[in-house]
Amino acid sequence: MNFKESDVSPAGLPSDQGEVGPVFRVKDLMRPLPSETQGGPALIGFASDEGVRRNFGRVGAAQGPAAIRRVLERLPVHHPVEIHDAGDVACTDGDLSAAQERLAGAVAALLDRDMRPVILGGGHEVAYGSFLGLAKHLGGRLATTKILVINLDAHFDLRLAPVPNSGTPFRQISEFCSAHGAAFNYLCLGISELSNTTALFERADQLGVEYRLDEEMRQSESTALRADLTQKLTAADKVYLSIDLDVLPASVAPGVSAPAASGVALEIIEDLVGDVISSGKLALADIAELNPVLDRDDQTARVAARLAHRLLLGHGRRSVVR
């Protein structure tokens, strides 16, 4: 695919008029997903905050996919790429399990076509639907495939609760893996000691969860952190990456249900995401917990769109050495 003015009309934004050379933005290259397409990145939304409501959080995350798209489509594209949008799965009737099953079916269909889904939430209940989609795609290969589940999050999301919610998805994944003879390889980075009870830390230990506290993810620890991640990526066959925006400081991501008093710096999160992409093992990723109702000047939506841009295009930073 080459950048040509004849490909799209009009290209860029009104402020791009008069520029010489390519001015393409995501909106110019994103298309509805044709039935015959094989391979490449695909965007899909999960418009749900039913899990947040059940978890007694601040609702509004159902508007997250639309808010991320509005920012994302304005971002520039520096490399030839085809981007497809598979639309949204919505939970509008309170039936969260049915919505997660619909998401799983849509994700599995994309994976069956050798596509890389990037799922925009929605509350973190999106994670169970995302993983179910990978499991449906693998079918009988699930138990023999080394899946590394990476969650960038202030919370374990391993809660025991009367009904599934935004705090239970990785406990549900662990139970699904156990029921299907698959290993539960869960790496959670950015855990806040003050956002998880003793019971949750004990459950994480019982399940063999590996984790790093947010206070262990300073810039001074970055080299060792990334080296450890590289080892785990090397040992995996496929990676499912989940990014809960509340892993970031509240000053960076205010528009979430549970803002972090401390959190992990955005540059460290971006480096870790870049390492996962560079491994070539990333099967799918999701971004959770954007709540536009609580956002300030689209600040959190801009962060989410920046991460989605990286996940979709897979390219690192542009740089010039002079």
What tens-digit pLDDT sequence spans the chain (322 residues)? Answer: 454 544 444 578 888 788 878 888 999 888 998 888 899 999 999 999 999 999 999 999 999 999 999 999 999 998 878 889 999 999 999 999 999 999 999 999 999 999 999 999 999 999 999 999 999 999 999 999 999 999 999 999 999 999 999 999 999 999 999 999 999 999 999 999 999 999 999 999 999 999 999 999 998 888 999 999 999 999 999 999 999 999 999 999 999 999 998 999 999 999 999 999 999 999 999 999 999 999 999 999 999 999 999 999 986 555 444 4
| Cα distances (angstroms) measured from residue 191 to each of 157, 200, 299 | 10, 11, 22
Q: What are phi and psi of 284, to 5 degrees?
A: -160, 160
| Cα distances (angstroms) measured from residue 38 to each of 193, 279, 319 | 43, 21, 31
pLDDT for 322 equals: 43
Domains of the chain, start order: 5-313 (3.40.800.10)
Residue in this structure with the two tokens 């080394």, named with its chain if needed: 146
CA dist 287 and 308 (Å) reads 8
Length of the chain counted residue by residue? 322
DSSP 215: G
| Cα distances (angstroms) measured from residue 98 to each of 45, 52, 87, 105, 295 | 15, 16, 17, 11, 29
DSSP letters for 35-79: TT--SEEEEEEEE--HHHHHTT----GGGHHHHHHHHHTTSB--S
Q: What are phi and psi of 295, to 5 degrees?
A: -75, 160
pLDDT for 9 equals: 45
The enclosing H or E element of 131 equals helix 126-138
Question: pTM of this prediction?
Answer: 0.94
Q: Which two tokens stand for residue 10?
A: 């009009």
CA dist 234 and 156 (Å) reads 23
